[in-house]
Structure 1
Amino acid sequence: MKVLVKSARIVDNESPFHNKVMDILIDNGVIQEIAPSIEAQDVGREISFENLHVSQGWFDSSVSFGEPGYEDRETIENGLKTAAKSGFTGIALNPGNLPVTDNKGAVSFLRSKAETSPVSLYPIGSLTRNSEGVDMAELYDMQQAGAIAFGDHKKAVSNPNLLKIALQYAQNFDGLVQSFPQENKIAGNGSVNEHENSTYLGLKGIPALAEELQITRDLYILEYTGGKLHIPTISTAKSVEIIRVAKENGLDVSCSVAIHNLLFTDEVLKDFDTNAKVLPPLRTKADIKALIAGVKDGTIDMVTSDHFPVDVEHKKVEFDNALFGTLGLESAFGALLKIFSLKTVIRVLLAGRSRFNLSEDIIDEGSQANFTFFDPDTEYTFELSDIHSTSKNSVFLGEQLKGKVLGIFAKGNFFSA
């Protein structure tokens, strides 16, 4: 079927049509023509919006649903619909379900559940069996089944020798190893950032040291072993500096930051809102300033929604007993545009593709059509009606956001937001 996109401003630095308002003709999922005005025959669908912008389809490197095991939090089907409505044509799905994604059968199951969705689901395999941190999982078999990286979601690799062996072994098939940045013995039972606010609120704190020490250890191991390491969701100023130095020294390391850690400080915890209980915890204004600078200069490779649905029974409880996590897909674009220029926002929403060895579909004639459509100028208050997830645990509720997703085009189909 032919699809005609009318008067869209192309936002793609790699495209010869970057920053130009053009019509785009798509036939069977392939871009046939890009021109200022196209009059085509037999067009099955025309896509036209006011202030229409288009970029390559966005990718999120850290998304959690619930299925299998926690379908009451989120199913794969509805989670992928939420991702599509949020502008993402690809997501990396964390292995923190039940059973854990620690074998090729589990990877194949997740991929099969997404076959009919316009959003591509890329499983992250668990680094260890059952994510227990004891025995290494079947990394090669999972990669052959479609896993794009390996890590125990929100669980640190406590055994340094296990990380060493994993980095050495994964080099045999160019595997990407993830290590969550937290030294558990220092973090203890903390639930918020260790700072004056944690003292004021009477809550146990997680010191920045817990993150920075773990990152330093992991980078020493990476220097010894070689290989590829990804550090998901860093949150402190010193972490940015440690990774910046490691990159300058030639280590093959990448990192991400969660969008909520770029926008909120631990001061939002004054009302004990459990939606703001996230891991790593919300830090300080100084940390946010350094994180934003790290995104701008490329030290931080990508941002992630770190989308984590939690049902009401595990959020509307005492703060210490609430689960960590917030929704993030639906608010990702609007929150980022509050902080960065449109050019930077699109860059960081695409950057994960190259690191995870996924295709990059430049907007040019002859390329596969993999698009996100959006209006970068709409301002609105993020409300409950903007949440498409089954769970409703969003720290962004009530925030003024900028930028609306209009839809995606992927796998030959248009999906409206």
Structure 2
Amino acid sequence: MNALLKSATIVDSKSDFHNENVDILIENGTITKISKRISNPDNYPEIKLENLHVSRGWFDSSVSLGEPGFEERETISNGLKVAAQSGFSAVAMNANTNPVLDSNADIAFALAKANGSACQLKPIGALTKNSESVDLAELFDMKNAGAVAFYDYQTPIKNPNLLKIALQYASNFDGLVLSFPQESQISGKGVMNENVNSTTLGLKGNPALAEELQIARDLFLLEYTGGKLHIPTISTAKSVELISNAKAKKLDVTCSVAIHNLLFTDDKLLDFDTNYKVLPPLRTQNDVDAIIEGLKDGTIDMVTTDHNPIDVEHKNVEFDHAKYGTIGLESAFGALQTLFSTKKTIGLLTKGKARFGVEESSISVGARADISLFNPEGKITFTKEHIKSTSKNSAFLGTELKGKVYGVIANNKIEISE
């Protein structure tokens, strides 16, 4: 793959050309020249885009793609195309498929389906067989097949001894264990945050306590066992405090937050819109403020779209019966830009790679091209016309976003949205 990017502003603190407007020559998937002006004697395809900015490729640590088993929601091929056109050069795919990705053959299948995509697939294997939280899955075999972590997506590990054994076992091969932060006996049948709004709406509540108890338990187990733990999609102020204290003890723990939990509160549910039915649920403004502060001070390590396509038959129903989840790839950059500077937004979108074993590459001569392309300026109101995912269940519909994503040059491919 050869290309010449014209007049691109580099946003990459690790590059010698940070904040400079330059031309970038890419030959056979490698950056061969960066200069103020580069001629094009070989007549390579030229990429000229309005107010073009480029950064290291973005990474998302939690994406659901449906296939195998739920292709009506999304396929691996189209999901990766959407991710690439949304600026992501790598995504970690959850195991919530049918069958669940819990063996080396399942991991190999997912990787084969992703072959040839500009966005690299990093599969997450199930932590337990069929994600039933009873017996550990084939962790070591899946690691050898290409799994970057182990997680029963949005399924709490009820048995603390199971998590203890998982942490101990995975530490033998530097495996990363994920544990969903919800104590299921406390959360019960709650479908939204337990608060005045849940009482007003007559919906069963899922209290912040359910998340915080599980996190406290898991951190105690981590302190006892050692190993590597990642806590996905935290949502409460107390959760931030618990993880901050654990990091002060030098425990090997990281965490993420879903972007929709940064922008929205449970006030969004007053109209019973099932696009806002997510897990963990939307919380209070106090929680949102604490999470944003946790991102700023580094307590929270990364953001994720927690992209979860759900078909209309499972969303366009009564709130109690609707499935949890929102898509978020297409809106991620624009949503973050409404909260943070472009520099901070890019920093958040490029963090997490090392934790999930994704190769990092700066925008430098001799480096492989792993580049996200975007325009940080301009505002749009996000509508269904902006959605390229198979499923349209977005919590961001009607939300004003800032900036525009063009796509990626990565994995020796060019993927730019029309």
Distance 2:371 2:263 in 1: 27
Aligned to 2:18, the other structure's residue is in SS state coil
* Distance of 2:300 and 2:349 partners within structure 1: 12
Q: 2:58: which partner in 1? A: 58
Tell me what 2:144 maps to: 144
Amino acid at match of 2:323: L
Quick one: distance in 1 between partners of 2:75 and 2:412?
A: 24
TM alignment of 1:11-410, pairs within 5 A: 11-410=11-410
1:338-392 CA-to-partner distances (Å, cap 9, x unmatched) read 0111111111111110111211011100000010000011210000100001111
CA RMSD of aligned residues (A): 0.7
How far does residue 193 in structure 1 lie from its aligned partner after superposition? 0.1
Q: How far apart, in 1, do the equivalents of 2:205 and 2:377 lie? A: 39
Task: Confirm or deny: 8 A CA contact 1:2 1:42 kept in the other structure.
Answer: no
1:93-144 residue CA offsets vs partner (Å, 9 max, x unmatched): 0000000000000000000001011110010000000000000000000000
Amino acid at match of 1:345: T
Q: Distance in 2 between the 1:413 and 1:102 partners?
A: 30
Cα distance in structure 1, aligned partners of 2:416 and 2:91: 18
SS at 1:109 equivalent: helix
Q: Any gaps of 5 or more consecutive residues in structure 1?
A: none
SS at match of 1:143: helix
Q: Distance in 2 between matches of 1:385 and 1:15?
A: 35
Deviations 1:263-286 (A, max 9, x none): 000001010000000000000000
Letter matched to residue 152 of structure 2: D
Letter in 2 for 1:346: I
**SS of the residue 1:216 aligns to:** helix
Which residue identity lines up with residue 148 of structure 2 in the other structure? I
**Can you list the C-alpha shifts for 1:207-251, whole angstroms capped at 9, x where unaligned?**
000000000000000000111000000000000011011101100
Where 2:44 maps in the other structure, the secondary structure is: strand
SS in 2 for 1:169: helix
SS of match in other structure, 2:124: strand
For the residue of structure 1 that corresponds to 2:405, the secondary structure is strand
Residue 60 of structure 1 deviates from its aligned partner by 0.4
Counterpart secondary structure, 1:330: coil
Q: How far, CA to CA, are the matches of 1:145 and 1:285 in structure 2? A: 42
State the TM-score, normalized to the length of structure 2: 0.99
- Residue type at the aligned position of 2:289: K
The residue identity in structure 2 corresponding to 1:93 is M
Secondary structure, in 3 states, of the residue corresponding to 1:43? coil
Q: Quick one: which amino acid aligns to residue 340 of structure 1?
A: F
Amino acid at match of 1:189: K
The TM-score with structure 1 as length reference comes to: 0.99
**Structure 2 Cα separation of the partners of residues 367 and 276 of structure 1:** 41
Count of matched residue pairs? 417
- 3-state SS of the aligned residue for 1:317? coil
Contact 2:212 2:239 in 1 (8 A): yes
8 Å CA contact 1:334–1:404 kept in 2: the answer is yes
Q: Secondary structure at the match of 2:45?
A: strand
- What CA distance in whole angstroms lies between the structure 1 residues aligned with 2:358 and 2:48? 29
Q: Would the aligned equivalents of 1:3 and 1:43 in 2 still touch at CA under 8 Å? A: no
Which one-letter code corresponds to 1:141 in the other structure?
D
> Is this contact kept in 2: 1:4–1:43, CA < 8 A?
no
Contact map agreement 2:140 2:173 (CA 8 A) in 1: yes
* Structure 2 CA distance for aligned equivalents of residues 2 and 203 of structure 1: 55
Amino acid at match of 1:308: N
The alpha-carbon deviation at position 54 of structure 1 amounts to 0.1
Tell me the CA shift for residue 41 of structure 1: 1.7
Note if contact 1:222-1:251 (Cα within 8 Å) is conserved in structure 2.
yes
> Aligned partners of 1:5, 1:138: CA distance in 2, in Å?
44
CA distance in 2 between counterparts of 1:44 and 1:6 reads 12
- Over the matched positions of the two proteins, sequence identity in percent amounts to 62
Moved over 3 A (4+): none
CA distance in 1 between counterparts of 2:162 and 2:412 reads 42
The letter for the 1-side match of 2:189 is N
Contact kept in structure 1, 2:117 and 2:413, CA below 8 Å:
no
**Equivalent-residue separation in structure 2 for 1:71 and 1:27 (angstroms):** 36
Tell me by how many angstroms 1:43 deviates.
3.3
* d(CA) in 2 for partners of 1:370, 1:390: 26
